Amino acid sequence: MATSELRFAAKASLSPSELSDLSALVTEANWNQLAADWRVFIEYGRLHVAHTAAGRIVATTAALSYGGRFAWISMVLVGGEYRRRGVATALLRQAMDELATARLTPVLDATPDGSAVYRRLGFEDSWGFHRLIRRERQRAPATPRPQATCVVRPISDADWRKVLAYDAAAFGAERGAVLAGLRGRLPAAELMAERDGNVAGFLLGRDGRLAQHIGPLIAEDEAVACALLERALAALEGPVFIDLADAKTQVHSFLDASGFNAVRPFTRMLYRTSSRFDDAARTFAVVGPEFG
């Protein structure tokens, strides 16, 4: 089918057959998302799609707005036979036009292949992170780590409001709805660190098609971050992803010793600026390129 025969639309809901199309795109790209991740964009963001006359979705771009300041662009996927025909660019520009109207700064996380494309569209490099994977739980003795003066425990419902306030101050915007969508998906990773009655850090996670994914990881320092990770990783079986900021070298060493290996680099890019919104000191691992 010619690209000109595709129809472009924003979706307000997804039928079972459309979810099946989206799952096929994720599988073809060898990405990690599940139906629960797509529902976040439907409920709290905007999902732009290209579909055939028969209604089959063959390409996507998603956007999530945060705090009236910036918005995440992600899930830029195109089915094999429609690639290199300008479909992704058309969807991306559609999303960016909506964000410009709303006066929101577009932000995205780019792979090395994508970064050159996004630079041509006006995006600038801000900072980098790497996806790391632990393929199975380590049976070795506990890995040495920096010692933290904090208590690590599961996040309770009574803690949730404090955790969200802590996150908003570090992330640069309130994102409670998106984070609430992660709760219950990976209970062993739903942890907070407490020091003198105050939140000193927290960790969340989610299940995935290829691996469990832990993040965001927000913490006061590397010792607290390692304490949260140690508790979660001891309880998680099977493959685990984490998207760790390149600047967090102590945590990287801890994860290396815990059996993690690098999968791929990402560059966080902002439209027409390189100035980040988040707190670099407290941002250890992101939710993922889908959500920021």
Q: What is the pLDDT of residues 271-284, one digit of tens each?
A: 999 999 999 999 99
Q: What is the pLDDT of residues 177-204, one digit of tens each?
A: 999 999 999 999 999 999 999 999 999 9
Same domain? 134 vs 247: yes
Lowest-pLDDT range of 55-64, 72-81, 135-144, 182-191: 135-144
290 assigned to some structural domain: no
Q: Cis check for the bond before 216: say yes or no (omega within 30 of 0).
A: yes
Question: Residue 200 is part of a domain; what is its CATH number?
Answer: 3.40.630.30
Across the range 144-156, mean pLDDT stands at 85
Same domain? 176 vs 248: yes
Q: Where are the alpha helices (DSSP H) in the chain?
A: 16-29, 35-44, 87-101, 112-120, 160-171, 176-180, 222-235, 249-257
Same domain? 148 vs 94: no
Q: Band of the pLDDT at 147, cuts 50, 70, 90?
A: confident
Count of domains observed in the chain = 2
Is residue 124 predicted with pLDDT exceeding 50?
A: yes
- Domain extent for 216: 130-265+274-285
Q: What is the pLDDT of residues 70-93, one digit of tens each?
A: 999 999 999 988 988 889 999 999
17 Cβ contact list (under 8 Å, min separation 6): 55
141 assigned to some structural domain: yes
109 assigned to some structural domain: no
Quote the pTM value: 0.94
Same domain? 181 vs 87: no
Is residue 1 predicted with pLDDT exceeding 60?
A: no
Q: Band of the pLDDT at 141, cuts 50, 70, 90?
A: very low
Residue 278 φ then ψ, to 5°: -90, 170
